[in-house]
Structure 1
């Protein structure tokens, strides 16, 4: 999924009032909203239910991809216009990374949805769902870090740290 977005912030535009952002449930420093992540949480919830209720795969088929601006344009979020304005004023590096993460999560959901629609055996469906959920939850955590203005290096190092922990607890090689 390719997302179009401006590569800059309008440096001439006055900074949005942090209290106004906070009151609108937007991060006061980045201007970004965790409400955007709700769209992915919805898909995650449906995927979590698929192993016990395969009918949830049909509900997942109705999930529609949307980037940050599209999400707020379609939402009933009370401060949606402010959320969109603040997004365009957010640092370009944060917008870019959030868009990358959002596109990756969307690809994972769309691919999982297509694979489930093909009607895999129960054990294959369970493995597919578990893999998709693991990736989605990792990216969701990283997206939250970006929204909250945590350094991108810190967000990226989370994945490296988890890889290190996973390696420590992996089965030792056969001798």
Structure 2
């Protein structure tokens, strides 16, 4: 468990960077999910894009930064070990939900493409991307220091798509 002095030292280390001094998290991680949202949004107009969607894979926070061009990537990777549990736990749970929705959505959209039902494809892709955006908004809020997460009912509804 990190003490206040250690957390305060980390807060000073990240000052002036794109890493939140409140949580020690960076919104740049959400770019990983923005990528799949954009791909999923294209699927109704270009069903072949489902292949690109299938190539997308979950990445942990630290994996994302290892592979990124983010200017403070080493600091982001190191700071993650010091994120207070009150932010880290809900953040990781939210990311798990995002990964689950993506995996389910890609499978579901692929099945719909095979049926040729363009209306269902469009409606499903829209519902999925809306759901992903809600979870990304929650993740962004956590990154910026909000303790608000989604209720279990909201989570269950989003995961039931």
* TM-score of Structure 1 vs Structure 2, range by shorter chain: 0.7 to 0.9
Structure 1: gaps of 5 or more residues: 1-8, 164-175
State the 1:23 CA deviation.
Answer: 2.6
Q: TM-score, normalised by structure 2?
A: 0.81
* Counterpart for residue 45 of structure 1: 38
Q: Does 1:107 align with 2:100?
A: yes
Q: 2:2 aligns with which of 10, 27, 51?
A: 10
Q: Does 1:31 align with 2:24?
A: yes
Q: Residue 14 and residue 91 in structure 1: after superposition, are their counterparts in 2 closer, same or farther (change >3 A)?
A: closer
Between the aligned partners of 2:56 and 2:15, the Cα distance in structure 1 is: 29
Q: Residue 122 and residue 142 in structure 1: after superposition, are their counterparts in 2 closer, same or farther (change >3 A)?
A: same
Cα deviation 1:78-99 (Å, max 9, x = unaligned): 2112102211111112111111
Q: TM-score, normalised by structure 1?
A: 0.75
* Counterpart for residue 93 of structure 1: 86
Alignment of structure 1 residues 127-142 onto 2, 5 Å: 127-142=123-138
Cα deviation 1:138-174 (Å, max 9, x = unaligned): 111100100000133xx447x97xx9xxxxxxxxxxx
Q: 1:150 aligns with which of 140, 146, 149?
A: 146
Q: Residue 16 and residue 48 in structure 1: after superposition, are their counterparts in 2 closer, same or farther (change >3 A)?
A: farther
Superposed CA RMSD in Å reads 2.3
Q: Does 1:54 align with 2:58?
A: no
Q: How many residues align?
A: 150
Between the aligned partners of 2:73 and 2:8, the Cα distance in structure 1 is: 18
Q: From the two aligned structures, give the one with the greater helix fraction.
A: 2
Structure 2: gaps of 5 or more residues: none
